[in-house]
Amino acid sequence: MEHSRSSRKRTGGRLKPSRDRKKHEIGSEPTEPRVGEQKYKTVDARGDNQKVRALKTNVATVATDSGTVRADIEAVSENPANPNYARRNIITKGAVIDTSEGKAKVTSRPGQTGQVNAVLVE
């Protein structure tokens, strides 16, 4: 949904759009990164930049007391963004994942950055 002015006047009459949307104003469907064999997608971003979106991933960089460790993701145990995401093994920021190191909370946005960074909870 685009954030813009209302399409109607205070009186109820319609307002004609003054221009078409620009490319950077057009949104896209959310990327829902799942647990599985690694699969990425590159998307053009604003400027001369690119975003790498994780479609599927099974590794996370977990921060522990002794340093950072590369851990395997086994499953998503809970996801406060949406309870159905935990059932469907969708990883978003704030999700609690089961890793080979233990339970960890995701601190990155895998759908935007293409990588899963997490902090050990237990």
CA pseudo-torsion sign 103, 109, 110, 113: negative
pLDDT at residue 72, as a whole number: 96
Domain with 111 in it: 29-120
* pLDDT reported for residue 6: 84
Supply 18's token pair: 């003054």
CATH label of the domain that carries residue 60: 3.10.290.70
Across residues 48-65, what is the average pLDDT? 94
Residue 74 lies in a domain: yes
Reported as a single tens digit per residue, the pLDDT across 96-113 is 999 999 999 999 999 999
Q: State phi, psi for 87 to the nearest 5 degrees.
A: -65, -35
Query: Per the domain annotation, does 14 fall within a domain?
Result: no
pLDDT above 70 for 77: yes
Q: Can you give the pLDDT at residue 86?
A: 95
pTM, whole model, 2 decimals?
Answer: 0.81
Instruction: Indicate whether 8 belongs to any domain.
Output: no
The rounded distance, in Å, linking the Cα atoms of 107 and 99 is 14
E-assigned strands of the chain? 34-35, 39-44, 50-57, 59-64, 67-78, 96-99, 102-106, 117-120
Instruction: Specify the number of domains making up the chain.
Output: 1
